[in-house]
Each structure stands twice: as structure tokens, then as C-alpha cells.
Amino acid sequence: MQKGLDLVSSEEKERLTPPPRCRYCRQRLDAADKMHRRFWPFCSERCKMAELGRWFEGRYVISRPLGEVTDHAAPPAATPKKDGPANKS
């Protein structure tokens, strides 16, 4: 099936590919627009924050168990500080 797509010109692929849309309000996104690039895949900060609010409200859920998750971003365990040379009085 991939071979069929190779026969289509890049202009035709662009025409057949649906334009990207904001994940919240469905407004058409333009990659040349600085605002759209800044908040990609949303059109604005408002839509980005509204979508985040949906997650916080629990409207979206992960539908299956993730399995074991390791947190690679966690800081390493604290090590006790070694005191410098003992001060002798």
C-alpha cells in the first residue's frame, strides 16, 4: 500500500492530507503562524489551558494499566554530606 503513495506527487499528498487542527477548538492551524507554533498542537494558550483543565477534571482517563513505570526524572537519593577536616581547638 505504501507504493501507491509513492506515485502521488508531493502537491497531491499535501492536498489529500487534512490540515492540522487545534485539539480543543478544532480551528485550522498554520505552521507559519508564530502563535500556532508556540502552542502546538493548540491554537492559543486559552485552548491549551482549557484542555489541561479537562484532564484535571477527570474527563480524560488512561483506559488500560500502564504496567510498571519507572521515573527516570527523579533526583538521585540524597547522600550524607561529609564534614570537612575536624576543627581542633
* pLDDT > 90? residue 8: no
pTM greater than 0.85 (yes/no): no
Higher pLDDT, 75 or 58: 58
Of 56, 57, 33, 58, whose CA–CA distance to 43 is shortest?
33
What pLDDT, on the 0 to 100 scale, is given for residue 10? Answer: 75
| C-alpha cell, 56 | 484535571
3-state secondary structure of 53: helix
For residue range 20-66, list pLDDT tens digits in order: 999 999 999 988 888 888 999 999 999 999 999 999 998 988 777 77
Cα–Cα distance for residue pair 72/81, rounded to 1 Å: 24
